[in-house]
Structure 1
């Protein structure tokens, strides 16, 4: 009887070699695919974090620019620019230039 059990085991492996090889290849393929997808997922999460940081930076820049626009519309700012950059003066105002 011991010989019959060995034959059955051996014959089972021989009969199902193709099936076993297919199952092993399928497991390997699924494992490789899962690892690749996990790596892509990590890369995408990293990129998402970078984009969120960039968006926050751009929102801050936008609010700063809007603040500058509001300030540039004030009369004090316009007068300051006219005096400093355009060298304009008020009527009856005397400018003294000190040279070293």
Structure 2
């Protein structure tokens, strides 16, 4: 009878050890999956930050350009504005004249 108690204790120890091993393995696998997911999220967010930084630089460059005299004059001319001392020559024979169309509107 002593042997059966000894074997039973040995089996219980093996079962407990197996449960602890499986539990630990499960924790490790779950942590690995979580780390992978977090790394993917990090890479996506870093790419988004890079894209936004480029966009900010682009906006800053456009803002800087928009303060120049040449840019302001270009926009004014696109809207049909002229300088006070300018003489305008219009070719009436030209079928498509953007400047006339802007003045008439």
Identify which of 3, 23, 26 aligns with 2:20: 26
Q: Paired residue for 1:41?
A: 35
Q: Paired residue for 1:55?
A: 49
Alignment of structure 1 residues 1-100 onto 2, 5 Å: 8=3, 11-84=5-78, 86-91=79-84, 92-96=86-90, 98-100=94-96
Once the two structures are superposed, residues 28-68 of structure 1 have per-residue CA deviations (whole angstroms, 9 ceiling, x without a partner) of 11111110110110111111111111111111111111010
Q: Secondary structure at the match of 1:16?
A: helix
> How many pairs are equivalent?
92
> Mean Cα displacement is larger for which, 11-20 or 55-64?
11-20
Q: Which runs of 5+ in 2 are unaligned?
A: 97-105
Alpha-carbon shift at residue 11 of structure 1 (Å): 4.1
C-alpha separation between the residues in 1 aligned to 2:54 and 2:47?
A: 11
Alpha-carbon shift at residue 13 of structure 1 (Å): 2.5
**Greater RCO, CA 8 A, separation 6+:** 2
Q: Paired residue for 2:101?
A: none
C-alpha separation between the residues in 2 aligned to 1:25 and 1:62?
A: 55
RMSD between aligned residues: 1.9
